[in-house]
């Protein structure tokens, strides 16, 4: 499902104009991004959590040059679904 399809579905279910729904979704995504850039996690009860995972420094290989490189420690965004969300998907998708 794409963002445009989500906008259409929400607009159809609520009767709100698509433009308003799109602005709302864009604002939501921007708020999540800004919060995570500031180092905070976002928790949506019953849906899941947008969390920051810390990756430790590690040694990698450049196979084309046959050399080793150091990959520095870094943070990455991640999504962890709520247990109820996971259970619903497990039951419905078989």
φ, ψ of residue 20 to 5 degrees: the values are -65, -45
The pLDDT of residue 75 is 95
- Give CA–CA dist 39/23, Å, rounded: 25
pTM of the model: 0.79
Q: Write out pLDDT tens, residues 73-90.
A: 999 999 999 999 999 999
The pLDDT of residue 56 is 95
Cα dihedral sign, 83-89-92-94: negative
Indicate whether 19 pLDDT > 90: yes
Q: Compute CA 60 distance to the chain's CA centroid, rounded to the nearest angstrom.
A: 26
Banded model confidence at residue 94, pLDDT cuts 50, 70, 90? low
């Amino acid at each position: 499902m794409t963002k445009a399809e989500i906008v259409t579905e929400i607009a159809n279910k609520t009767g709100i104009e698509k433009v308003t729904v799109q602005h709302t979704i864009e604002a939501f995504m921007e708020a999540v991004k800004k919060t995570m850039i500031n180092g905070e996690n976002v928790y949506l009860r019953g849906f899941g959590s947008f969390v920051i995972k810390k990756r430790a420094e590690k040694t990698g290989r450049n196979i084309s040059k046959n050399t080793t490189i150091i990959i520095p420690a870094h943070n990455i965004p991640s999504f962890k679904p709520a247990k109820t969300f996971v259970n619903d998907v497990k039951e419905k998708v078989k």
